[in-house]
Amino acid sequence: MQRTTIARLPDAAVGWTLPRMEITTLGECRFSSPEKHFVSDNLRVPAVIRQSPEAPPDPSALAFELAGRREKLFFDPKTTRAGIVTCGGLCPGLNNVIRSAYLELTFGYGVKEVLGFRDGYRGLDPQRGLEPLVLTRELVDDIHKEGGTMLGTSRGPVDTGLAVDNLIRRGVNLLLCVGGDGTQRGAHELYVEASKRGHPLAVAGVPKTIDNDVQYVSRTFGYLTALEESRWVIDAAHTEAHSVENGISLVKLMGRHAGFIAAGATVASQDVNFCLIPEVPFQLEGPKGFLAALKTRVVQRRHAVIVVAEGAGQDLIPAGSGQRDASGNVKPQEIGGFLREQIEAHFKAEGVPMVFRYFDPSYQIRSRPANCGDAILCDQFARHAVHAAMAGKTGLVIGLLHDQFIHVPTALLAKGGKRVSPTDLLWQAVLASTGQPAVFG
Amino acid sequence: MQRTTIARLPDAAVGWTLPRMEITTLGECRFSSPEKHFVSDNLRVPAVIRQSPEAPPDPSALAFELAGRREKLFFDPKTTRAGIVTCGGLCPGLNNVIRSAYLELTFGYGVKEVLGFRDGYRGLDPQRGLEPLVLTRELVDDIHKEGGTMLGTSRGPVDTGLAVDNLIRRGVNLLLCVGGDGTQRGAHELYVEASKRGHPLAVAGVPKTIDNDVQYVSRTFGYLTALEESRWVIDAAHTEAHSVENGISLVKLMGRHAGFIAAGATVASQDVNFCLIPEVPFQLEGPKGFLAALKTRVVQRRHAVIVVAEGAGQDLIPAGSGQRDASGNVKPQEIGGFLREQIEAHFKAEGVPMVFRYFDPSYQIRSRPANCGDAILCDQFARHAVHAAMAGKTGLVIGLLHDQFIHVPTALLAKGGKRVSPTDLLWQAVLASTGQPAVFG
Amino acid sequence: MQRTTIARLPDAAVGWTLPRMEITTLGECRFSSPEKHFVSDNLRVPAVIRQSPEAPPDPSALAFELAGRREKLFFDPKTTRAGIVTCGGLCPGLNNVIRSAYLELTFGYGVKEVLGFRDGYRGLDPQRGLEPLVLTRELVDDIHKEGGTMLGTSRGPVDTGLAVDNLIRRGVNLLLCVGGDGTQRGAHELYVEASKRGHPLAVAGVPKTIDNDVQYVSRTFGYLTALEESRWVIDAAHTEAHSVENGISLVKLMGRHAGFIAAGATVASQDVNFCLIPEVPFQLEGPKGFLAALKTRVVQRRHAVIVVAEGAGQDLIPAGSGQRDASGNVKPQEIGGFLREQIEAHFKAEGVPMVFRYFDPSYQIRSRPANCGDAILCDQFARHAVHAAMAGKTGLVIGLLHDQFIHVPTALLAKGGKRVSPTDLLWQAVLASTGQPAVFG
Amino acid sequence: MQRTTIARLPDAAVGWTLPRMEITTLGECRFSSPEKHFVSDNLRVPAVIRQSPEAPPDPSALAFELAGRREKLFFDPKTTRAGIVTCGGLCPGLNNVIRSAYLELTFGYGVKEVLGFRDGYRGLDPQRGLEPLVLTRELVDDIHKEGGTMLGTSRGPVDTGLAVDNLIRRGVNLLLCVGGDGTQRGAHELYVEASKRGHPLAVAGVPKTIDNDVQYVSRTFGYLTALEESRWVIDAAHTEAHSVENGISLVKLMGRHAGFIAAGATVASQDVNFCLIPEVPFQLEGPKGFLAALKTRVVQRRHAVIVVAEGAGQDLIPAGSGQRDASGNVKPQEIGGFLREQIEAHFKAEGVPMVFRYFDPSYQIRSRPANCGDAILCDQFARHAVHAAMAGKTGLVIGLLHDQFIHVPTALLAKGGKRVSPTDLLWQAVLASTGQPAVFG
């Protein structure tokens, strides 16, 4: 088994002749693709594309393999059995990914069988007794019209040894994992364990996070649908606030570490007056604090709409619980309830009557079917994951950088997420549409 | 001023020659309608229309004046100034009512001016300093495409004396009040006070409650839109519950005293497994209680969707707070949080793991623009209220019985609300679509 | 077999003791309903409910049996096989009717088997070789979330003899027919033929017409959904017209004989300037004709939106083709194209440049899933049809009058349709919202 | 006035030291931006970013200026008057562009006045007498919630001399043109003419085409919204075809030269069986032609959904009309009607009965409000156009390449459009989801 780990890449000061950010492959590819159009294994997409006289193109800079169908396959489709598993919280488009992966595996490559493991990683654990579904055209035919995942999902890891036993026993050589950071780390361990045992297992990931905070993925699937639903709720929040004297509506949206949904929905709606995200700290108190700005707005304009990402202002909440969800992620503290208390206390102290409405629509947002922008994205993520795995590539997720689908080593993915930058377009557009100051406090 | 109060009607054992359920009028109508088609003042709609050999038609039974444009008007349009006010919580269609009332007053009758009083009854209080809007075609042109009320709203009463002072000073002879029970009682007092002072003031109400629980109104405006939004949330709840092992979604919908929204959304959705409403008491504990039935369902089918009206199960919640909202209505206790605790405790005690999701979308539902069914209804309620008031009728709300718009004396309205009957079509359809037992416990 | 045909009713001058508008029943009912709540066979709903001193209640006037579950059934559920068939053009809610009928038959009554005949009446013809579907809970589970009909549909009759052979051979005793006039006439013939052969066949119809023009049915299913979709198209038409100088948008909507969709969508939208329906003839030419009014509007306001029902203005189109569709209904002439030519010629002759846009969305409207208002209606129509047929009633369709579901003899239904009355609420609201004159010409 | 035309660039074999694809600027920038975050004038985005050992990065390859706020402005905001004009057919998002441009000009830069020229280029012609709107916060407040353009639009050019007279007389120094190729060419001429007269006029374009076929713009605004509406129509088409025996639905979508909407909607929907676009020629006749494939599908599967871009198959239509629209673009022949005839004739000749439905929803699609993905894109296009113009850059449109907003010289834009490549992701996904052969014939 041939490996080109990425471990030594960061410190390798090498020229173009030695390609950068290589992907691990299971070995030499011996089978021919049944289709005609291919992407060469040699094509790279640089991580940084902006150029300046001061920083001319650097051939040794970080660059990624371009994703796509390869001419030579590692697996013989006729004897290959594939598996799909969806993990973690719901996100619009999960069923689209399942459907397109099934179609590409079956009609694009002609693999023998596609198994749908149920209830996330639990379905890999043979002790759970969750027999996987054998996917068929009929089973997947209309699933993309519904939200959720037809395979079921769950949080939390699986015993790697037991899972690999299961995959070997079922003859699965190709595993597509749709999930977040934790899922992809677990997927990587499955491949490592399988390779220890000499079982060729290509593990390809499709990054899933409604928060849109994956490094090297300019847009994760589900994000545009989440904006649509969020805007719909903001619209209600605006109507509520606008229809009474001194109406204040607070909408809590998803975003534990990154405010993409809050910021994107704010720009799309243009009805938001204050947008608070994890990347931009803010003060509540003081003459330039958030509460004073809110009061000024309400007194002047009789209403205000606030959007807050769930991970915003964590430093302001006194008693850090440090609770973790079943996936092991630290749960954000309840900023919504905290803000509500602070606002109500402040207006009471200031003697300004107001009518407060709280909106917490996360479960309504993440369970929707994918809109068109996301549906197309899911289709492409799924097919690229299949292409990579059929070529024997493993330990990777499909990325999307500069409008190009790429192969991202899972290990690299784990190093840190994408964030809203206060100097970037999106946040500048938030400031422009809300009219809020760049800094509270 | 000629009066025919309804006070003596219930005990009047009289024949047809003495019309039933008369409406108070301000006096003799002297002006001609500018339009051609009229409804006679003599037409009646009986409250009960089902007949049987055992109960032949009773000419002396309760019957209502048919609403509609009258040939003779009490007010001279050229010198009449009208006012509109919207009170209480939001409801889809408020702007449609305002718009159609304005159009009918202005283009249908040619009244001199239409004032929009702001922020509910507060706008009638001159001490608040809320100058009413002088409505124009441009102001109302697109308001029906948005939810909420362009006039603003509030809860709570107004000092009747001050309000009538204000109306007299502004020369308002015709006041349309859009609101619930409390609003209509307040409207009645305005008319009584004005008549004491000799100021001819026709007060006509459009009943507003998203709960659809007004007696003599078979469907209140906003109800169908509320169902649409509720179904959309139930759809998300179903997806969430369905995508995990033992997923339970609980959706709390509006309905303090009546379960029309919960029941209607359940039948429209067909994805609900348990529907709980105020009219049908239920037990939590015991082998035939709700919790046992829920557990059986979850164990057998791996998921469940529960819809609960906010006023359901009030007897089950220990510490009755008896809190009232600003309109003086007793606030229901938080059945959602209570049920959640009970369910979580029960499943823990039974050793059945489950994933719980709570949905509380009321503010998202009531703030939507009216759908077509409601838009047409609003148009007709508004125009009929204008017709009644222009003919000098007062102390009434527009009702809708057996597909006929009618005049309902406000005093009669106050006597009790409409309820879901467990023997009626709607609840039978709920039982059939959920498969839940007729009784829990 | 006991019959009470309706043939002699119109001339029967009888008192209340002889119930009016009786429904044919197959014979004495011997089995008990498995449920608890019933409707007595003696209850009647009068066709006319408005009363006046000049026209006191007439006990001998036209009245209908109230629909609903009966205590005694004619068929033994354990041995009864039911069939469902959907015929004619698509209409939102067909799948809801199929689903609720299946659920009521199976879970409400416990019938042995429910067959879904495919492709309309073609599926009854054994020579077509279309084996009916044996309906199951799984098959119908999600069908109400999609438009169209899962059974398929077609236009045109079936050979009555062959169809009855087929029903007898398959042991079908209860047939639910969902369709328009022609379908219900055909359904009646099936019952007549079956009774000639001594085969007890209860045929109950659910009236289906998106045009909402069925006598004794105040609202047909699909109508409210059609309004929603129509308003969405009118919104586009308004935007197109409004965004250019002298923009004219013409929207053709369904309505061969009745303008309910055109009128309802006009009132719901409030963006329409001219509404043309079959019931209100109009002149094109002359100083008070439609074309002159259109020109005046366009010159003054720079844009106009016209809604025309497909059956409007048939007298204006020169060469009557008299074409019929496969169901034998005379097809309306293409008023859309004709109006377009007339408008373009008129504006050219008058030297007024304009931009014309034509919208013909019928197939997009009728193929949608039912909205909530229609979903609930479908559920109730379906269950009432099942109740009637299980009680051995036949030759009827379910009607809806004064908010009451009733039994309407099919023969009565055939006598003429419901129409928009120019003096009624709906048309008055059209005139008020468009501002168009009551008469063109 | 300093110019760096692009004319000599294609043949310039130059190194990085001489920046590529320079943008014309009106002269030296003397004023400071009121904001803090800037983009350097030196940053470039290369047109080609994929790298391979065979094609290492070429510092002299085509590269574009990165768009964004500049530190130094050419115009003094306090004395600058800006104009906005929208031209050509409707497209979702026009009002968003107007609104965001107004907000950026007014609140981001503090310009003196923003004029909205009405009805496209007609509004620049003083002889038309269309006084421009002076935009205000109130005027633009809710426009983004509606489709169309609040300024109005038209097709066709304006007399350049008259228009520049008008702009000079009104003191307009900055003109934002939202429109397609023709509009941008016209915009370029305005700048050329103004510079001849010594009037500093910065003309910045926002490329507008719902067809998404602009070179150097990876996604034009309105495209995602168009997909959403198109999918909604395809859904109806699928229901119609699926509900009858041998149902064939043909949906004609926008796309004169490029099939992005047809292809994108096909992938998003997954219900399409045949997708025909201008870039992929096809044969109708012959054993491998489209008609034979359609017949095979219909016979096997009983229904088929076809999506055709309006510019597809132009070579197949006999009598080329060569008609042009008011903008001078050659109008595509009516492929929809032509295909319909061919299909009907073929099935008749083959003796296969079928039911045909035709859908032509273009005006319904392009008149919608922008969805969230498009709303955010519009905001960014608009703000970047303002940034460029305030820095004195002219003769450019804002492009979007590799997720970066760039400055594209208008002259370059005119050289040819973007096309769907049959070897690219989108078309491969179409083939995979439809199952249609890569070639017909």
ipTM of the shown complex? 0.93
Give residue D1's pLDDT: 36
Q: Per CB distance under 8 Å, which residues of C are interface residues toward D?
A: 90, 119, 122, 146-149, 152-154, 233, 235-237, 239-240, 242-245, 249, 357, 359-361, 363-364, 367-368
Give residue A320's pLDDT: 54
Residues D44, A66: C-beta atoms closer than 8 Å: no
Nearest CA in chain D to C358: D363
- Residues of B within 8 A of A230 (CB-CB) are none
Report pLDDT digits (tens) over D96-143.
999 999 999 999 999 999 999 999 999 999 999 899 999 999 999 999
Looking at the complex, report in whole angstroms how far the Cα of residue B297 sits from the nearest Cα belonging to chain C: 16
Average pLDDT of span D218-227? 98
Q: Name the token pair of A301.
A: 């304009």
Cβ partners under 8 Å of residue A262, min gap 6: A253, A255, A275, A276, A277, A307, A308, A309, A312
SS3 label, residue A307: strand
- β-strands A113-116, D172-179: how paired? unpaired
- CATH number for the domain formed by residue range(s) C224-366+423-434: 3.40.50.460
Report pLDDT digits (tens) over A95-129.
999 999 999 999 999 999 999 999 999 999 999 98
Give residue B413's pLDDT: 81
Q: Where are the domains of chain A?
A: 31-220+370-401, 223-366+423-434
Q: Per CB distance under 8 Å, which residues of D are interface residues toward C?
A: 90, 119, 122, 146-149, 152-154, 233, 235-237, 239-240, 242-245, 249, 357, 359-361, 363-364, 367-368
Nearest to A339 by CA among A269, A420, A276, A287: A276
Nearest CA in chain D to C245: D119
- β-strands D247-253, D303-309: how paired? parallel
> Which candidate from D144, D403, D433 shows the least CB-CB separation from A403?
D403
Nearest to A370 by CA among A170, A182, A81, A148: A148
Per-residue 3-state assignment (H helix, E strand, C coil) for chain B: CCCCCCCCCCCCCCCCCCCCCCCCECCCCCEECCCCCCCCCCCEEECCCCEECCECCCCCCCEEEECCCCCEECCCHHHCEEEEEECCCCCCCHHHHHHHHHHHHHHHHCCCEEEECCCHHHHHCHHHCCCCEECCHHHHCCHHHCCCCCCCCCCCCCCHHHHHHHHHHHCEEEEEEEECHHHHHHHHHHHHHHHHCCCCCEEEEEECCCCCCCCCECCCCCHHHHHHHHHHHHHHHHHHHHCCCCEEEEEEECCCCCCHHHHHHHHHHCCCCEEECCCCCCCCCCCCCHHHHHHHHHHHHCEEEEEEECCCCHHHCCCCCCCECCCCCECCCCHHHHHHHHHHHHHHHHCCCCEEEEECCHHHHHCCCCCHHHHHHHHHHHHHHHHHHHCCECCEEEEEECCEEEEEEHHHHCCCCCCCCCCCHHHHHHHHHHCCCCCCC
Residues B270, C17: C-beta atoms closer than 8 Å: no
Give residue A6's pLDDT: 34
Low-confidence ranges of chain B (pLDDT < 50): 1-19
Residues A50, D42: C-beta atoms closer than 8 Å: no
Q: What are phi and psi of C139, to 5 degrees?
A: -60, -40
> Which sequence positions of D are flagged as catalytic?
211
Q: Name the token pair of D374.
A: 């498009």
Report pLDDT digits (tens) over C94-132.
999 999 999 999 999 999 999 999 999 999 999 998 999
Report pLDDT digits (tens) over C399-433.
999 999 999 999 888 777 999 999 988 999 999 99
Residues A376, D44: C-beta atoms closer than 8 Å: no
Q: List D359's β-bridge partners, or say none.
A: D251
* Alpha carbon distances (Å) from C204 to B28, B393, C63, C388, C402: 53, 46, 19, 7, 21
Cβ partners under 8 Å of residue A388, min gap 6: A23, A67, A202, A204, A396, A398, A407
Chain B touching partners, 3 or more CB pairs below 8 A: A, C
Do B66 and B158 contact (CB within 8 A), yes or no? Answer: no
Do A112 and A79 contact (CB within 8 A), yes or no? Answer: yes
Q: Are the folds of A31-220+370-401 and A223-366+423-434 the same?
A: yes
Q: What pTM value is reported for the model? A: 0.94
Per-residue 3-state assignment (H helix, E strand, C coil) for chain C: CCCCCCCCCCCCCCCCCCCCCCCCECCCCCEECCCCCCCCCCCEEECCCCEECCECCCCCCCEEEECCCCCEECCCHHHCEEEEEECCCCCCCHHHHHHHHHHHHHHHHCCCEEEECCCHHHHHCHHHCCCCEECCHHHHCCHHHCCCCCCCCCCCCCCHHHHHHHHHHCCEEEEEEEECHHHHHHHHHHHHHHHHCCCCCEEEEEECCCCCCCCCECCCCCHHHHHHHHHHHHHHHHHHHHCCCCEEEEEEECCCCCCHHHHHHHHHHCCCCEEECCCCCCCCCCCCCHHHHHHHHHHHHCEEEEEEECCCCHHHCCCCCCCECCCCCECCCCHHHHHHHHHHHHHHHHCCCCEEEEECCHHHHHCCCCCHHHHHHHHHHHHHHHHHHHCCECCEEEEEECCEEEEEEHHHHCCCCCCCCCCCHHHHHHHHHHCCCCCCC
- CATH number for the domain formed by residue range(s) A31-220+370-401: 3.40.50.450
Residues D43, A37: C-beta atoms closer than 8 Å: no
Looking at the complex, report in whole angstroms how far the Cα of residue A135 sits from the nearest Cα belonging to chain D: 17
- Residues of B within 8 A of A364 (CB-CB) are 233, 236, 359, 361
If you count residue pairs, one on C and one on D, with CB atoms under 8 Å apart, how many are there? 82
Highest mean pLDDT among C7-21, D65-79, D326-340: D65-79
The string over A365-387, giving b where at least 16 C-beta atoms fall within 10 Å of a residue's C-beta and e elsewhere, is bbbbbbbbbbbbbbbbbbbbbbb
Give residue C397's pLDDT: 96
- Residues of D within 8 A of A425 (CB-CB) are 68, 380, 405
- Residues of B within 8 A of A152 (CB-CB) are 243-245
What is the average pLDDT score of chain C? 91
- Residues of C within 8 A of B50 (CB-CB) are 43-45, 66, 404
D302: DSSP letter: S
With the C-alpha atoms ordered C100, D235, D370, C261, is the resulting torsion angle positive or negative? Answer: negative
Looking at the complex, report in whole angstroms how far the Cα of residue A299 sits from the nearest Cα belonging to chain B: 15
Q: Is B212 left (phi over 0), alpha (psi -120 to 50) or beta?
A: left
Does D223-366+423-434 carry CATH code 3.40.50.720? Answer: no
Residues B46, C51: C-beta atoms closer than 8 Å: yes
- Residues of A within 8 A of B360 (CB-CB) are 360
Report pLDDT digits (tens) over B370-426.
999 999 999 999 999 999 999 999 999 999 999 999 999 998 887 779 999 999 889
Chain A touching partners, 3 or more CB pairs below 8 A: B, D
Q: List D217's β-bridge partners, or say none.
A: D400
Residues D264, A423: C-beta atoms closer than 8 Å: no
In whole angstroms, give the CA distance from residue D279 to residue D284: 16
Residues A243, B363: C-beta atoms closer than 8 Å: no
Give residue D331's pLDDT: 67
Residues D119, C236: C-beta atoms closer than 8 Å: no
Report pLDDT digits (tens) over B98-156.
999 999 999 999 999 999 999 999 999 999 989 999 999 999 999 999 999 999 999 99
Class of domain B223-367+423-434: alpha beta
**Is A211 known to be catalytic?**
yes
Tell the residue number behind the tokens 């703000």, with chain if given: D383
- Give percent of chain C with pLDDT exceeding 70: 92
Full pLDDT tens readout for chain A, 441 residues: 333 333 333 333 333 333 467 889 999 999 999 888 899 999 999 999 998 877 777 777 899 999 999 999 999 999 999 999 999 999 999 999 999 999 999 999 999 999 999 999 999 999 998 999 999 999 999 999 999 999 999 999 999 999 999 999 999 999 999 999 889 999 999 999 999 999 999 999 999 999 999 999 999 999 999 999 999 999 999 999 999 999 999 999 999 999 999 999 999 999 999 999 999 999 999 999 999 999 999 999 999 999 999 999 999 987 655 566 666 666 667 999 999 999 999 999 999 999 999 999 999 999 999 999 999 999 999 999 999 999 999 999 999 999 999 999 998 887 779 999 999 889 999 999 999 999 998
The string over B243-276, giving b where at least 16 C-beta atoms fall within 10 Å of a residue's C-beta and e elsewhere, is bbbbbbbbbbbbbbbbbbbbbbbbbbbbbbbbbb
